[in-house]
């Protein structure tokens, strides 16, 4: 079928079959469809929607447009975890070595910063010598050596997604749930983990700010995985405030080490344990919370992280000093009145950190030492003048500091948000 006929059909709100969706993806992978034609498809799909089967067919075609490693054929218990992104989210850095230390193999392909969120790859690359370039063979070697592998997707994985992803931004179709699902899964399923847990964020610092939108995305991700034959579930988790106490590249490496040593903040530790239990259950290894806690207490989790860093070319002896690095200008953010911390403009905090240097913009390199340390939590009583957070900048900037301070709201009372709001699963 010609592009014109497919576009006319979807514009009219009619359902596309598998062959028609494969034609779209083939056109995105090669030169068969022009950018205007692909943009028209994205707009029609965003407005008229894709049902469950259409989403499955689009996802599968995008997945099959590139390399598939099928690692489950050689590592049947292999698990993966994906987060929809947030501010201070370093869960992947902790969960992977923790589970690997307990005998649960984990593979992850990570990404770079997007919008207000920090990129796992960017954080890890602050470790001297660490090489995140992996292919199937290197991935298998790392899994054999350390029980975990983390890398950046190669250009051969889901090439159709790169073209469609770029067009989604300029066609205002970024928030289409079927298009989000196909984009995430076409890369996530390419490694071939048999079980995947999704950490779907909700709140001010999440891409899905409203809980009902987060639940809808979680349902579609889990449903599509199961249609394709992969075990999956999702936790709906809070991103109405930064996760943990540290935001920023070297600061988050420091907090990762602290958490692996049992010194991490309560919310971050609890979320890591919850997601680890969920992935272990799905993958069939059955690691209980007591086993996870024991791996932290014994030092095995931290030792596994060091082992993995060295296996991927990094220097584990640098981690302690690296985690203490901060930009030199410390500016405390204090409570303007007594009351309760009621709200945090988390998305704005992430954008401000990027503006201060924590994101690569306009050819500017990332300043890995720009950071925010977050002390108070929503629902916590505070007194006027109490320190809510500290921002570490490369140079003193009163105007930027005032914008950081305006992100914190104190009111008479407020209820702390639920860290894990819901679990989404189709079949156990």
Higher pLDDT, 320 or 358: 320
Q: Is the pLDDT of residue 427 over 60?
A: no
Tell me how crowded residue 283 is: count the other CB atoms within 10 A of its CB: 25
How does pLDDT run across 389-421, given as a tens digit for each residue? 999 999 999 999 999 999 999 999 999 999 999
Tell me how crowded residue 363 is: count the other CB atoms within 10 A of its CB: 5
Q: Are 177 and 219 in contact (CB under 8 A)?
A: no
Instruction: Kindly tell me the number of DSSP H helices and DSSP E strands found in the chain.
Output: 17, 13
| Arithmetic mean of pLDDT, 233-240 | 98
Q: Is the pLDDT of residue 1 over 80?
A: no
| Arithmetic mean of pLDDT, 42-59 | 97
How does pLDDT run across 2-21, given as a tens digit for each residue? 899 999 999 999 999 999 99
Domain coordinates of the chain in residue numbers? 3-49, 71-320+419-425, 324-411
Query: pLDDT class for 312, splitting at 50, 70, 90?
Result: very high
How does pLDDT run across 87-103, given as a tens digit for each residue? 999 999 999 999 999 99
Distance (Å, whole) CA 130 – CA 148: 14
Query: pLDDT class for 426, splitting at 50, 70, 90?
Result: confident
What CATH number is given for 324-411 in this structure?
3.90.1170.30
Higher pLDDT, 31 or 283: 283
Backbone dihedral angles phi then psi of residue 125, each to the nearest 5 degrees: -75, -5
Distance (Å, whole) CA 329 – CA 343: 25
Q: Residue 81 contacts by C-beta under 8 Å, 6 or more apart in sequence?
A: 91, 92, 95, 96, 106, 108, 196, 197, 198, 199, 275, 279
Active site residues: 82, 161, 168, 183, 187
Tell me how crowded residue 267 is: count the other CB atoms within 10 A of its CB: 20
Q: Residue 384 contacts by C-beta under 8 Å, 6 or more apart in sequence?
A: 334, 335, 336, 337, 338
**Residues of 205-225 as b/e, b for ≥16 C-beta within 10 angstroms?**
bbbbbebebbbebbbbbbbbb
Tell me how crowded residue 190 is: count the other CB atoms within 10 A of its CB: 25
Residue 371, strand partner residues: 392
How does pLDDT run across 351-383, given as a tens digit for each residue? 999 888 877 666 678 899 999 999 999 999 999
Q: Supply the pTM of this predicted model.
A: 0.94
Q: Identify the architecture of domain 71-320+419-425 in CATH.
A: 3-Layer(aba) Sandwich (3.40)
Distance (Å, whole) CA 288 – CA 294: 10
Residue 237, strand partner residues: 201, 420
Distance (Å, whole) CA 236 – CA 95: 17
| Arithmetic mean of pLDDT, 298-319 | 97
């Amino acid at each position: 079928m010609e592009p014109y006929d497919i576009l006319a059909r979807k514009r009219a709100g009619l359902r596309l079959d598998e062959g028609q969706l494969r034609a779209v993806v083939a056109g995105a992978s090669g030169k068969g469809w022009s950018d205007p034609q692909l943009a028209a498809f994205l707009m029609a799909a965003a407005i008229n929607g894709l049902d469950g089967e259409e989403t499955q067919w689009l996802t599968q075609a995008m997945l099959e447009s590139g390399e598939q490693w099928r690692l489950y054929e050689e590592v049947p218990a292999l698990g993966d975890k994906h987060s929809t992104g947030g501010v201070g989210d370093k869960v992947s850095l902790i969960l992977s070595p923790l589970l690997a230390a307990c005998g649960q193999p984990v593979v992850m392909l990570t990404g770079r910063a997007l919008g207000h969120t920090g990129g796992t790859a960017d954080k890890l690359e602050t470790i001297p010598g660490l090489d995140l370039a992996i292919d199937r063979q290197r991935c298998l070697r790392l899994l054999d050596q350390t029980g975990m592998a983390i890398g950046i997707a190669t250009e051969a994985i889901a090439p159709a997604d790169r073209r469609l992803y770029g067009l989604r931004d300029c066609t205002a179709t970024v928030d289409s749930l079927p298009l989000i699902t196909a984009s995430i899964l076409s890369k996530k399923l390419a490694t071939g983990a048999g079980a995947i847990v999704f950490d779907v964020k909700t709140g001010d610092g999440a891409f899905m700010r409203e809980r009902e939108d987060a639940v809808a995305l979680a349902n579609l991700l889990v449903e599509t995985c199961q249609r394709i034959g992969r075990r999956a579930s999702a936790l709906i988790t809070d991103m109405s405030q930064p996760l943990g106490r540290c935001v920023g590249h070297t600061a988050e490496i420091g907090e990762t080490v602290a958490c692996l040593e049992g010194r991490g903040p309560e919310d971050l530790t609890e979320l890591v344990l919850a997601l680890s239990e969920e992935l272990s259950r799905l993958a069939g290894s059955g690691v209980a919370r007591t086993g996870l806690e024991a791996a932290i207490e014994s030092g095995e989790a931290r030792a596994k992280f060091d082992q993995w860093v060295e296996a991927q070319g990094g220097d584990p002896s640098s981690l302690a000093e690296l985690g203490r690095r901060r930009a030199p200008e410390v500016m405390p953010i204090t409570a303007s009145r007594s009351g309760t911390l009621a709200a945090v403009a988390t998305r704005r905090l992430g954008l401000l950190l990027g503006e201060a240097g924590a994101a690569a913009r306009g050819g500017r390199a990332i300043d890995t030492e720009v950071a925010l340390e977050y002390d108070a939590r929503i629902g916590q009583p505070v007194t006027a003048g109490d320190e809510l957070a500290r921002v570490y900048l490369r140079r003193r900037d009163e105007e930027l500091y005032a914008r950081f301070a305006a992100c914190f709201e104190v009111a008479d009372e407020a209820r702390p948000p639920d860290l894990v709001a819901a679990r989404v699963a189709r079949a156990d």
